[in-house]
């Protein structure tokens, strides 16, 4: 399966955290492309530091929900919690979002694919386009067009 994942961090040594997360993901598949790291202002939530974001493409044998669990485990290694008390869209050491898995359209209690807000996020679309000029977001269209319309 070819998965597109978005990585973000706005606490701690952001660059080291994103690099280490990419290395950890490479342990469950093969990272075939990793974008440059881009600094972005936070979207929503309380006042907080800017994010450093990246997108990577991972070839893996894991099923989407298995990959989600791995991503959440990696987030926890870097201090991410998902308690009910956590502030929605608040600051975090690491955030890993599954954007697409192949061209699968999927909805379960724990995972929606493609990511429901990916088409509206420059910090996802721009780095994705950097590593895959032909990128396509299922149900939304070519990433190049989506980005041009933002």
The span from the CA of 128 to the CA of 52, in Å, is 14
pTM to 2 decimals? 0.92
Q: Directed axis angle between helix 64-77 and helix 14-26, to 10°? A: 140
Could you report the per-residue pLDDT of 117-130, keeping only the tens digit for each? 999 999 999 999 99
The span from the CA of 20 to the CA of 27, in Å, is 11
The span from the CA of 46 to the CA of 44, in Å, is 7
pLDDT of residue 80: 74
Q: What percent of the chain has pLDDT over 90?
A: 84
Q: What angle do CA 108, 112, 113 make, to 5 degrees?
A: 125
Which CATH architecture is the domain 2-148 placed in?
2-Layer Sandwich (3.30)
The pLDDT confidence band at residue 139, using thresholds 50, 70 and 90, is: very high
The span from the CA of 118 to the CA of 44, in Å, is 15
The pLDDT confidence band at residue 84, using thresholds 50, 70 and 90, is: very low
Catalytic sites, residue numbers: 80, 92, 95, 97
pLDDT of residue 4: 98
Domains in the chain: boundaries: 2-148
**DSSP readout, 62-92?**
S-HHHHHHHHHHHHHHTT----TTSPTT---
Residue 88 has pLDDT above 80, yes or no: no
């Amino acid at each position: 399966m070819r998965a597109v994942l978005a990585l973000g961090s706005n606490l701690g040594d952001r660059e080291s955290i994103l690099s280490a997360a990419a290395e950890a993901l490479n342990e469950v598949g093969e990272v075939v492309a990793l974008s440059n790291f881009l600094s972005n202002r936070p979207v929503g939530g309380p006042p907080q530091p800017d994010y450093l974001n990246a997108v990577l493409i991972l070839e893996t044998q894991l099923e989407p929900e298995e990959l989600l669990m791995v991503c959440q485990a990696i987030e926890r290694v870097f201090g991410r919690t998902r308690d009910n008390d956590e502030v929605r869209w608040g600051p975090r050491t690491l955030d890993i979002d599954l954007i697409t898995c192949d061209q699968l359209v999927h909805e379960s209690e724990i995972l929606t694919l493609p990511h429901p807000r990916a088409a509206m996020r420059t910090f996802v679309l721009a780095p994705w386009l950097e590593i895959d000029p032909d990128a396509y977001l299922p149900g939304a269209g070519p990433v190049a067009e989506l980005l041009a319309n933002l």
